[in-house]
Amino acid sequence: MSSMFSTRNVFFCAIALRGVFLFYGLFQDAYSPIKYTDIDYFVFTDAARYVSQGRSPYERETYRYTPLLAWLLIPTSWKTPIWFSFGKVLFTNSDIVAGWFIVRILQSPSGGKMTTERALKYASIWLLNPMVATISTRGSSEGLLGVMIVALLWAVKRRQIALAGILLGLSVHFKIYPFIYGPSIIWVLESSRPSSLNEKPSPTPTKASIKNTSLQDEILLFFNRSRVVLCLSSLATFLSLNLLMYAIYSKPFLQHTFLYHLTRIDHRHNFSPYNTLLHLSSTLPDKVSSLKLESLAFVPQLFISAVLIPIALAKKDLAGTMLAQTFAFVAFNKVCTSQYFLWYLILLPFYLPYSSFLAKRQLGITALVLWVSTQAFWLHQAYRLEFLGLSTFVPGLFASGLLFFAVNIWILGVMVEDIGERGSKGDGARVEEKG
């Protein structure tokens, strides 16, 4: 049984799984009225075709992404039909590369120093997951973002701070939400505290050293070299890409890539508890728009994911904190679809080795059953609404959305407790400034 989890076997199975799904998708697209390919992939490829013709990708209605994505997919516009699947191959290959990074991080001293076999078992949660393979082979670009995120974590743990900053800036340009990782990374890049700035740093701060450190010393300690390099490199990357895209595509770039998401109202295929309220906002704008729910929803979401969780947990375990941040961000997001689950699923292998969900089997099974069953309840209500034409908004969709949200909050609470206890036992992964 253990021989199954060798590097060759796991990565061969991961590639084969995606290959089977990819060819099955071609068959279903050709012979079934229900298409396998995600509608978003047609949006991507249409935008890429416009770019290949020297036009703006934003001429394609509903294209809400960076032009970089359309540029990457230009080969899909080439005349030979086989090139249409280029993007799917790119996304699935990104899955594989992300899996390789997961293994390398788990094998590193700061990632648990696992054996190859054990690291591959946890990495298989991503590599051999049919859900991940399905989403990528249907044409979702989440795999590209996933490889950026795990590469960012790998760079921080390897103390490649400039590279980490570049990856952070690139990922935020690619899709806004990874900015929440910035506070956590900054928080862990701390210097060892000296008793005074003229003395050699001591590895463990004492009460006397803290008391004798002035406010000026505290500020100098906070703005250490690693933090400055991370901020400058990430901002330079983010601003450079945005200025370049704005110079080429002007206001449509800002509107569709960034500003649109501030007032986005998307009530279809949305697990969020805001779903029904967003539907009301879209149908009765004159009566409901004064509440500006689509903008106010960001307040609790960002406060929890970008402020509270980083401050409380980042110095205890960076990878676990990033998982908790992402889980909270998705749970509180006004739009929550199955694709968004990949945002935190890719970080799950770093948390599970010490999680209560594995240590207490009954707890883990209960969490999984509740997480899946509440989704199924919501999907049943959505099916009755969209396919049978029945009005299931209240109580059906609204109640199922609240139930799924409640389960997610309970799971998040267990995560936060686990990560906090890991830090209290001295198992955290703080990255310290050298020298």
344-372 pLDDT tens trace: 999 999 999 999 999 999 999 999 999 99
Tokens (6 digits) for 185: 């990374």
Strand 189-191 and strand 431-433: the pairing is: parallel
pLDDT, residue 52, reads: 96
| Three-class SS state of 253 | helix
Closest-CA residue to 47 (of 38, 37, 60): 60
d(CA 415, CA 355): 7
Q: What is the pLDDT of residue 433?
A: 47
Structure tokens at 417: 């407790």
Cα–Cα separations (whole angstroms), residue 344 to 126, 130, 138, 349, 373? 11, 16, 19, 10, 19
Question: Which pLDDT score, from 0 to 100, does residue 260 have?
Answer: 82
Tell me, what's the pLDDT at 398? 83
Q: Distance (Å, rounded) from C-alpha 376 to C-alpha 374?
A: 5
Which pLDDT score is estimated for 112?
Answer: 81
Q: Which residues contact 193 (CB under 8 A, 6 or more apart)?
A: 201, 202, 205, 209, 210, 213, 221
Asked if residue 335 lies in contact with residue 269, where contact means CB atoms within 8 angstroms, the answer is: no
Question: Of 395, 364, 362, which Cα lies nearest the Cα of 377?
Answer: 395
Q: Is residue 383 within 8 Å of 390, Cβ to Cβ?
A: no
Hey, CA dihedral for 60, 95, 320, 359, is it positive or negative?
positive
CB atoms within 10 A of CB 301: 18
C-alpha 298: how far from its chain's center? 17
User: Between the CA of residue 288 and those of 278, 285, 293, 298, what are the distances in Å?
Assistant: 9, 5, 8, 17
Q: What is the pLDDT of residues 180-219, one digit of tens each?
A: 999 999 999 976 544 333 334 445 555 555 455 677 777 7
Cα-based torsion angle of the residue sequence 304, 307, 308, 314 in order, rounded to the nearest 10 degrees? 120
CA–CA separation, 111 and 349 (whole Å): 10
Give the predicted TM-score (pTM) of the model. 0.89
Number of neighbours of residue 350 by Cβ within 10 angstroms: 24
99 near 126, Cβ under 8 Å? yes
Q: What is the pLDDT of residue 274?
A: 77
Q: In this predicted structure, what is the pLDDT of residue 400?
A: 86
Taking the C-alpha atoms of residue 147 and residue 170, their distance in angstroms, rounded to an integer, is 12
DSSP code string of 136-156: HHTT-THHHHHHHHHHHHHHH
DSSP structural state of residue 432:
E
Q: Is the distance from CB of 85 to CB of 22 less than 8 angstroms?
A: yes
* CA proximity to 221, closest of 191, 195, 198: 191
Hey, is 198 helix, strand or coil?
A: coil
Q: Which residues of the chain have pLDDT under 70?
A: 1-3, 191-213, 263-269, 279-295, 423-435
Phi and psi angles of residue 431, each rounded to the nearest 5 degrees, phi first:
-100, 115
